[in-house]
Structure 1
Amino acid sequence: MSEDNLASLNDKNNAAVEANVEITPEMQGFYQRADAIIGMANSQLGSDAHSGQVGASLLYAAARYSASVASIGFVKGDDFAKEKDDIVEFYVKQYRQMLSDNLTDYAQNFDQYVQLNKDDKPAQ
């Protein structure tokens, strides 16, 4: 894990401690996996792809992976198709909450995050 990702995880842990939330090993694993995926996405930035393009690919990958995860346990495609609306509702609700939480966090830490983004830009 890079120092930036470790710092990000520590910031999240500190915020959770301040909010009196116990940081479980499962939560640490969750944030470490997310930071690893964000690191991979950041590594795609460059002259061939800007952040909007990488973000679109990341969103598509999340949707594709989620569809695969949602299909686990179904035996027939017809049964899976019948649950489509409920599956979409579940994932949209989860994404909406995570996006809202992260937008709030970003707004509250805007100056710090903007500086990190400037530091992370690849040399061109």
Structure 2
Amino acid sequence: MTYVVTENCIACKYTDCVEVCPVDCFYEGENFLAIHPDECIDCGVCEPECPADAIRPDTEPDMAKWVEFNRKYAERWPVITLKKDPLPTAQEMDGKPGKMTLFSEAAGEGS
């Protein structure tokens, strides 16, 4: 099992999860975080830290696409280990459907 970041992270990008990760498997995009599924140790400590409820276990239905999505971008983006402020749109965008159109492939700064 692994955990993955899902669509609700887009345009929110809360980073509470990255500081609790014992293996530093989070990677930062411009408006999204990704978990490298091959580095995640399935400890689950990140899931309850996400204010947007965007981190889910891969055992839930339809998560295979998110495993590959997270892998793809984790291999392109820099690692992030320190908490940062969420995006200015975070509260407004939290829970809104259809956020894939807002997704940016651009890398974040990392930390």
TM-score category (smaller protein): under 0.3
Name the structure, 1 or 2, with higher relative contact order (CA <8 Å, separation 6+). 2
Choose 1 or 2 for highest CA Rg.
Answer: 1
User: TM-score, length-normalised on structure 1?
Assistant: 0.24
Structure whose residues are more often strand by fraction: 2
